[in-house]
Amino acid sequence: MRGKERRAREIAGKALALFREAGLGCEADYLGYQAFGPRRKGFLGRLYILTGEEERGLSLIRSMEEGYLCKDCACRGCYEKHLFLGRYYMAKGRHAEALKEFEAGLSLHPREPEMRRTAERLRRRLKT
């Protein structure tokens, strides 16, 4: 494991431990707050992926479109789900799957700069 990945895993583990130790409710309570439920699923999902619980994290991220959108979201769907999955696939070297996710996200939020730049870079890479 590279140094940055090791450090990210350590910090994510500490964040999850602090969440559990805070005594402010359980994970179900945290995820159950509908006004920002998808964003919370994405946050916890990324932490779980970083700590090595990939399936648990991916399951949370994939469920971001279930139910309500975040209260402050102006998009037709949860573009962040596709952003997070695209980042995950990029990190794993699965570029065709990453491009598919970024393109799905762009269909919901066409001006999202990270997805636009990364999708364009992937299109060029996969074309050659």
Give pLDDT tens digits for 42-93: 999 999 999 999 999 999 999 998 878 888 788 888 999 999 999 999 999 9
Q: Euclidean distance between the first and final Cα of the chain, in Å?
A: 30
| CA–CA dist 60, 50 (Å, integer) | 13
Q: Give per-residue pLDDT as tens, 30-41.
A: 787 778 888 889
Other residues' Cβ atoms within 10 Å of the Cβ of residue 42: 23
CA atoms within 13 A on the CB side of 82: 23
- What tokens appear for 122 in the block? 């992937």
Specify the pTM: 0.83
> Angle at CA 91, nearest 5°, toward 83 and 96?
70
128 pLDDT tier (thresholds 50, 70, 90): low
Length of the chain: 128
